[in-house]
């Protein structure tokens, strides 16, 4: 299975045709959206933008999306926020929003709440979809500080996902393998960045692509 992975579009609608073209060019089976579809916009904005995307779309909200995003987007794409699901036999767990930020954005959770929501849906060998990264993994901001979620990091340590996908930190683009988990932040789609994740029953690989 091949997945186009996007995040942090921040309401830049002009990128959607390029996302659709990349989906086609890379022969993807589904599209994974890791949140921040809007830039402090409305859930209606998020639904409108996601409805323009081709393929089978699985989406979670980001910290800049409003709290009613999951309920609203469920009519146009697969809302997977706080859910365990599978695509082509590949198991996923997904949670949107982020740990607390200095910006007081709409969709933030305390670390304890992230643990409470993520633990029941997590399982060994999953593909983990979160908006916020694990603490210490693709979470460094320009000052050098690590701002990822310690709760997500603990879930990764405990369940050892085959892949952990995140966005949120626009500068921390990359792919890193550690302790059997492939971490990827594809970078902000609003800047023409995306990733392709390939998963089968025996292996996982990823690459960064330009939209």
Superfamily of domain 2-210: Metallo-dependent phosphatases (3.60.21.10)
Instruction: Summarize pLDDT for 171-201 with one digit per residue, the tens.
Output: 999 999 999 999 999 999 999 999 999 998 7
C-alpha distances out from residue 98 to 1, 106, 172, Å: 27, 10, 15
Domain segments of the chain as ranges: 2-210
pLDDT of 25 above 80: yes
Q: Which residues pair with 197 in a beta bridge?
A: 3, 206
In this prediction, residues 32-43 reach a mean pLDDT of 98
pLDDT digits (tens, 9 = 90+) for 114-157: 999 999 999 999 999 999 999 999 999 999 999 999 999 999 99
d(CA 71, CA 53): 18
Judge if pTM exceeds 0.95.
yes
61 contacts 70 by C-beta, under 8 angstroms = yes
| Gap between the Cα atoms of 1 and 29, Å rounded | 6
Residues 45-84 have pLDDT tens digits of: 999 999 999 999 999 999 999 999 999 999 999 999 999 9
pLDDT of residue 63: 98
Q: Which of 73, 167, 173, 172 is CA-nearest to residue 128?
A: 167
Q: Which candidate, 10, 72, 64, 13, places its Cα nearest to that of 40?
A: 64
Mean pLDDT taken over the chain: 97
Burial of 110 by CB count in 10 Å (0-12 exposed, 13-18 middle, 19+ buried)?
A: exposed
Q: What is the pLDDT of residue 202?
A: 78
pLDDT computed for residue 138 by the predictor: 98
Q: Are 79 and 59 in contact (CB under 8 A)?
A: yes
């Amino acid at each position: 299975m091949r997945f186009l992975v996007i995040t942090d579009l921040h309401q830049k609608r002009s990128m959607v045709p390029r996302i659709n073209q990349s989906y086609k060019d890379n022969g993807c089976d589904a599209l994974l959206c890791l949140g921040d579809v809007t830039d402090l916009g409305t859930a209606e904005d998020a639904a409108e933008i996601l409805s323009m995307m081709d393929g089978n779309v699985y989406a979670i909200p980001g910290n800049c999306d409003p709290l009613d995003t999951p309920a609203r987007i469920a009519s146009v794409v697969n809302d997977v926020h706080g859910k365990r699901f599978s695509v082509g036999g590949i198991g996923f767990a997904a949670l949107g929003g982020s740990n607390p930020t200095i910006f007081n954005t709409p969709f933030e959770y305390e670390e304890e709440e992230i643990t409470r929501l993520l633990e029941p849906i997590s399982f060994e060998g999953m593909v983990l979809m979160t908006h916020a990264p694990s603490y210490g993994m693709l979470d460094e901001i320009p000052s050098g500080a690590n701002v990822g979620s310690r709760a997500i990091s603990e879930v990764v340590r405990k369940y050892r996902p085959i892949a952990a996908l995140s966005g949120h930190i626009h500068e921390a683009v990359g792919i890193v393998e550690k302790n059997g988990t492939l971490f990827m932040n594809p970078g902000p789609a609003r800047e023409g960045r995306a990733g392709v994740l390939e998963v089968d029953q025996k292996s996982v690989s990823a690459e960064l692509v330009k939209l």
